[in-house]
Each structure stands twice: as C-alpha cells, then as structure tokens.
C-alpha cells in the first residue's frame, strides 16, 4: 500500500527518538546473568522504523481486526477486574453479590468527585502525574469501606439463611446503593464528564492512510483512520493485569490466600482448623470491592461520560462482568480473568463483524450456551449436589 500521496515519514520518528534519548548515556548492566546489552541498544532505534513501516503494509481487513482486538482487550480487562469480585464472593459465600456492580459504579463516581474537588482536568488545570494514583487509592479505600459495611450490615446476619434470601438482600443492597447515589447531595441524577488524569497520548499509530486522489482529481481510495494505541488503554490494561497478578499471588501463595481457599472449600471445617471465617469473608469482600473500585476508575478514564448512578447501563455492565465470571467458571479466580477478556473480545468482535445493536445478545447468548453445555464454566468443574 505504498501510495504516492503520503510523504515519507519514517525518518521523523527516528529523529525524535534520538533527540529524546540522545543526551543520556545508555545504561549498561554488567551484573551476572544479564545478556549482552548491546543487542537492545542496537535494536531500539529501529523500532520506530518498524512501527512506521507497518503503516504501509497493513491491509484494512487486518487493521479493523487489530482495532477490535485492542478495544476488546481494553474493555475485557475491566470486565475481568469486576468479575473477580463476583467470583470471589461466589466462591466463598455461594451467592451472587448483586451489589458488586454498584460498588464498581461507586468507584467511578468517587474518582469523579475527587477529581472535581481537586479541580484537575481541563487545559487550565492539568493534573499532576500522581493525580491518577491518588484518585485510584482514594476510590479503592472508599469502596473497601463500603464493601466492608455491606458485608457486615447486610450479609453477615444471613450467614445461615437460605441462599435465596441472601440473593434478595443483595438485590436490596444494590437498589439501596443506586438510589442513595442518585440523591442530590451524593452524586445526583445528572451524567457528568470525567476529565482524563492520564495524559491522553497516542503511543503508536498502525496502518491507515489519507484519501488517495488520482491525477485527475478522482478519489481512488477513501481515507482510512489508523489504529491508535492509546496510553489510556495501555495503562488501564496494565493496571488491571498488575492487580490480577497481585491477587493471584495473594490467593495462591500466601497464608491468607490459603485460608480463603479453605473457607471457600468448606467453611465449617475451615472454622474447625482455626481459621477466622468471618474475618476471611470480610477480607474477601474488601478485596473484591477494591478491585471493583479500580475497575471503576479505569472505566472513568477510558469513557469520560459517567452515567447517573442508577442508569441501566451500569447494571448491564455489572451483569456482563458476572457473565464473564460464570463463563470462566464461577468461584475460579483465573477463570474470571479469562472470562472477562473473552467477554470483552466477544462483545467487540460481535459489534464489529455482526452488528453493534445486538451487542448484549451475544454476551447473554454465550452465557446460555455455556450454562447448557458446560455449566461449570470453562475452567470450573461441575459441582455434584450431595444429600
């Protein structure tokens, strides 16, 4: 696709790279086990050339595919973060925590409120580099407190009640959070625009070309927008992956994680082994709420328009995250991550290649298929009901 109308630009990329790093001497690691540093320093200046040359060799079909893949992964990692909260609570208490999606909404809205009070955003008041981290921590902290309160106030009295009652209580908590959030002195009923705290920079442009006009003024090929790899998406996905990695280590490598898995396996026996079951359950809720808050913050960074707290859009997002947890195998932490990514990809590929108006149908259709043919989920094992 080497069209004549476009100026050759690979050199520009290389120049800017040189000027950015030119003044600083390359650091050389000489410790044991570190491979020859010369390789990277030799390849690095070539990278912009590679990226830039990709621009001319990407067929539009592939470009669409790539864009869809990137979007799907970015949203999928958010689904995965929310799904983790669902799956952890389900694993331990065996009920769907319907209020979880509202904790996610709370995370997004707390992020917005903190940003608004701090006065960040807009061209006049650019946010400092640590703003995102601070907002994230405040949102996580708030949601942790709310998650703890919900568990202690609403679910703990129902430890021995039938599961249906807990489910109904969860719906009650969800409705309560939604409607409290709508109050004028909390978040109000108007949608708000969230300023981006991460610098909205394009890391790489892949493919795309301007309109090709022939010598007689006839348009030969329409303009194709390039695939944009945005910093927001990269940071968002990276944060999500980091949090998931930390959680995975926590659950599978620490003593507390072992206690959580024990409670999930059999609370009665776990209590006999000296595990403080109530405390473990509270910790699980707090971790789930924290992850949901992180997802809320990242969501508010990706999509700046925040709907009002009780908007059906939020509930639908939460439901899709729950579907992700079920598809991956509910109660299974790695399954939730896999399911989240899968749902994100399915949604975006379906929207791109079949039609955007039926986006929700694909997700719920997949849920029904999974439940019919593999009720335990992809990574889960089917449970046998014992008398």
Distance separating alpha carbons of residues 359 and 188, to the nearest angstrom: 29
The alpha carbons of the chain give a radius of gyration, in whole angstroms, of: 24
d(CA 263, CA 272): 11
Q: Where are the beta strands (DSSP E) in 225-365?
A: 227-230, 305-306
Cβ atoms 63, 207 nearer than 8 A: yes
Number of Cβ within 10 Å of residue 379's Cβ equals 19
- Under the binding rule (CB under 8 A), the answer on residue 171 touching other proteins is yes
Task: Select the residue interacting with other proteins from 210, 214, 276, 375 (CB under 8 A).
Answer: 375
Closest CB to other proteins among residues 138, 366: 366
- Shortest approach of other proteins to residue 115 CB, angstroms? 27
| CB 363 to other proteins: min, Å | 8
Interface with other proteins, residue 229, by CB under 8 A: no
What's the DSSP call for residue 8?
P
236 or 344: CB nearest other proteins: 344
DSSP 8-state assignment for residue 202? E
Q: Is 159 in the site for other proteins (CB under 8 A)?
A: no
Crossing angle for the helix pair 60-93 and 100-118, nearest 10 degrees?
110
Q: Which of 126, 162, 199, 214 binds other proteins (CB under 8 A)?
A: 162
- Told to check if 256 binds other proteins by CB under 8 A, we report no
Window 89-108: residues binding other proteins (CB under 8 A):
95-96
311 touches other proteins by CB under 8 A: no
Q: Is 78 helix (H, G, I), strand (E, B) or coil?
A: helix
Residue among 14, 66, 371, 378 that touches other proteins (CB under 8 A): 371
Half-sphere exposure of 38 (CA within 13 A, CB side): 1
Q: Give the binding range for other proteins (CB under 8 A) out of 47-55, 213-221, 235-243, 313-321.
A: 313-321
Contacts with other proteins: how many residues (CB under 8 A)? 44
Helix (H) or strand (E) segment spanning residue 256: helix 255-265
List the one residue from 26, 46, 62, 161 that touches other proteins (CB under 8 A). Answer: 161
Residue 21 or 163: the one with the smaller Cβ distance to other proteins is 163
- 315 interacts with other proteins by CB under 8 A: yes
- The window from 1-9, 42-50, 192-200, 371-379 that contacts other proteins (CB under 8 A) reads 371-379
**Dihedrals φ, ψ of 227, to 5°?**
-75, 125
357 DSSP assignment: G
Tokens 């990277």 appear where? 40
Q: Does 219 bind other proteins (CB under 8 A)?
A: no
Tell me how long the chain is. Answer: 387
319 makes contact with other proteins (CB under 8 A):
yes
Residue from 80, 367, 379, 380 binding other proteins (CB under 8 A): 367
Contact 377, 323 (CB under 8 A): no
Q: Work out whether 180 is an interface residue with other proteins (CB under 8 A).
A: yes
**Cα 319 from Cα 84, distance rounded (Å):** 13
* Contact between 41 and 309 (Cβ < 8 Å): no
Q: Does 385 bind other proteins (CB under 8 A)?
A: yes
Structure token digits, residue 250: 């926590």
User: Cα angle at 228 between 213 and 242, to 5 degrees?
Assistant: 170
In this structure, are strands 219-221 and 192-193 parallel, antiparallel, or unpaired?
Answer: unpaired
As beta bridge partners, residue 240 has none
Q: Which stretch binds other proteins (CB under 8 A): 12-20, 159-167, 298-306, 335-343?
A: 159-167
Minimum CB separation from other proteins for residue 350, in Å? 12
Q: Bridge partners of 192?
A: 306
Site for other proteins in 327-366 (CB under 8 A): 357-358, 360-361, 364-365
14, 51, 154, 277: which one contacts other proteins (CB under 8 A)? 154
| Least distance from other proteins to the Cβ atom of residue 349, Å | 17
Which residues contribute to the site for other proteins (CB under 8 A)? 95-96, 154, 157-158, 161-169, 171-176, 178-180, 183, 312, 315-316, 319, 322-323, 326, 357-358, 360-361, 364-365, 367-368, 371-372, 375, 385, 387
């Amino acid at each position: 696709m080497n069209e004549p109308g476009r100026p050759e630009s690979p050199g520009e990329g290389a120049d800017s790279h040189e000027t950015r790093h030119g003044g600083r001497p390359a650091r050389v690691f000489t410790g044991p086990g570190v491979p020859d540093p010369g390789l990277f320093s030799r390849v690095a200046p070539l990278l912009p050339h590679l990226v830039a040359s990709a621009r001319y060799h990407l067929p539009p079909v592939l470009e669409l595919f790539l864009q869809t893949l990137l979007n799907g992964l970015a949203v999928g990692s958010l689904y995965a973060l929310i799904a983790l909260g669902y799956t952890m609570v389900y694993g331990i208490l065996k009920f769907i925590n319907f209020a979880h999606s509202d904790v996610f909404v709370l995370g997004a809205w707390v992020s917005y409120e903190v940003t608004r009070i701090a006065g960040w955003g807009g061209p006049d008041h650019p946010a400092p580099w640590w703003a995102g981290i601070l907002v994230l921590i405040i949102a996580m902290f708030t949601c942790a407190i709310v998650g703890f309160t919900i568990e202690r106030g609403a679910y703990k009295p129902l430890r021995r009640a039938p599961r249906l009652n807990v489910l109904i209580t969860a719906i009650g908590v969800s409705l309560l959070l939604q409607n409290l959030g709508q109050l004028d002195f909390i978040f109000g009923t108007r949608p708000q625009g969230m300023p981006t705290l991460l610098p909205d920079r394009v890391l790489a442009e892949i493919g795309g070309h301007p309109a090709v006009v022939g010598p007689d003024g006839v348009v030969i090929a329409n303009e194709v927008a390039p695939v944009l790899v945005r910093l927001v998406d990269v940071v968002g996905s990276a944060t999500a992956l980091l949090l998931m990695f930390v959680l995975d280590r926590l659950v599978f490598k620490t003593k507390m994680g072992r206690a959580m898995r024990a409670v999930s396996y059999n609370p009665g026996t776990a209590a006999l082994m000296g595990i403080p079951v109530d405390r473990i359950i509270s910790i699980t809720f707090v971790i789930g709420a924290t992850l949901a808050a992180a997802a809320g913050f990242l969501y508010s960074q990706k999509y700046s328009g925040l709907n009002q707290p009780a908007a059906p859009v939020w509930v639908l997002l939460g439901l899709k995250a729950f579907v992700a947890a079920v598809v991956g195998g509910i109660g299974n932490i790695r399954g939730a991550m896999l399911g989240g990514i899968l749902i994100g990809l399915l949604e975006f590929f379906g929207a791109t290649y079949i039609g955007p108006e039926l986006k929700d149908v694909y997700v719920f259709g997949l849920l029904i298929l999974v439940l019919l043919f593999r009720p335990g989920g992809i990574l889960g094992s089917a449970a046998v009901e014992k008398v």
